[in-house]
Amino acid sequence: MSTLDYRTAGESHGPALTVLVESMPAGVPIELELINGELARRQGGVGRGGRMKIERDSVELLSGVRGGLTIGSPIVMKIINRDCRLEEACEIHRPRPGHADLAGSLKWLTTDCRETLERASARETASRVAAGALARCLLRMFNIEVAGYVVRMLDVTGRVSRDMEMDELRRLRDANSAYCPDADAAKRMIKAVEQAGSEGDTVGGVIEVQVRGQPPGIGSSMRWQDKLDGRLMWAVGSVQAFKGVEIGLGFTSASRRGSVVHDEIDYDPALHDTSGLGFVRLSNNAGGIEGGMTNGEPIVLRAAMKPISTLAKGLDSVDLLTKEPERCDYERSDVSAVPAASVVAENVVGFEIARAFLEKFGGDTLGEVRASHEHYLKTARSLGG
């Protein structure tokens, strides 16, 4: 069986975005409510600009699904752009600092930044959310849950218990436009974004994603390309505006001794039938991954998003036609997209977990995947007698 994968196409102001998902097993129930719900969450959150008041993102399934079930062929989804004006859009000659504008113009040897920014735009992440939500339809069949949320915006940090049940975590997250489960911190985050917006500035932040219910052994230590932590960091780090990714304790572990960093192991027979197979940790500083493989603990990943590069008040730049100093061009943009980015990160993580899951338990049909998964768990639980 080929590796689960996806590709995206489409420009920010083109007719539509499309995503092609390949090698999804046949027989997986596709939940359009889940996919469209994630797209709607991506459109929301404090700090979003005028574009999201225009769009009404939802997917149209063009292939690969019949009667609500995957049939094993490539799946194509389309997301219509209501703000479709690519042919009429003006040229951009003053590149915006922090964007792909100048680098792309130099790469493709043009003085018009338009074509670069149309594809480099974070509008592309709608496709990635759709692909990730589709993959999570598979994960749900195996009780694997993924949740992303905001833990920091500017200098406001929320307190989020990782012992909280996923349903409660999502309920608290969805109760405010900061997408932060800490209600008090969310209020201060919202205020910080509104203040920055009134001053023509933008705000970044930090998101966190948790994955629970996955068995140990997903990923591999045999090839560097297969290490799950590296793959997750690559997937999340490729999302527009993310500049740093850490798993578990991350950078903090560099300032502590090994005796307080590494998660000591115990065994609890009462948890023999759980996804961790009875093995428990007294801490989860590794963030659920050791040696490039899941270890049975929840996966915990954090990512830092820089402030949006398009500022209403502009920044100093250069006109590519004259080489003279100019303020950069202004394209309609957000004050902050950190809440929306937490949705994107949640779904790209979900896709990568599904990909690694199928590499271990893959088959052409959901039934074969389920049988392989059950056989593995039965064998793993019988180790050592």
pLDDT of residue 85: 83
Give the tens place of pLDDT for each residue, 71-88.
999 999 999 998 888 888
CA 188, 193, 195, 196 torsion: positive or negative? Answer: positive
**What is the mean predicted confidence (pLDDT) over 309-336?**
83
Residue 58 has pLDDT above 90, yes or no: yes
Give the tens place of pLDDT for each residue, 286-312.
999 999 999 999 999 999 999 988 777
Residue 329 has pLDDT above 80, yes or no: no
The CATH number given to whatever domain includes residue 257 is 3.60.150.10
Distance CA 328, CA 326 (A): 6
Q: By residue range, what is the domain housing residue 267? A: 5-381
pLDDT of residue 37: 97
Burial of 70 (0-12, 13-18, 19+ CB in 10 A): buried
Please state the φ and ψ torsions of residue 298, each to the nearest 5 degrees: -60, 140
Split at pLDDT 50, 70, 90, the class of 2 is confident
pLDDT of residue 51: 66
Residue 127 has pLDDT above 90, yes or no: yes
Instruction: Enumerate the β-bridge partners of residue 289.
Output: 294
Ranking 149-163, 236-250, 308-322, 358-372 by mean pLDDT, the lowest is 308-322
Split at pLDDT 50, 70, 90, the class of 150 is very high
Tokens representing 320 are 């590519």
pLDDT of residue 239: 96
How many separate domains does the chain show?
1
pLDDT of residue 272: 85
pLDDT of residue 227: 97
Distance CA 383, CA 385 (A): 5
pLDDT of residue 330: 67
Instruction: Enumerate the β-bridge partners of residue 69.
Output: 29, 66
Angle at the Cα of 174 (from 194 to 343), degrees rounded to 5? Answer: 80
Split at pLDDT 50, 70, 90, the class of 373 is very high
pLDDT of residue 385: 60
pLDDT of residue 274: 84
If you count DSSP H runs as helices and E runs as strands, how many of each does the chain have, helices first?
11, 17
303 membership: H or E segment, kind and range: strand 299-305
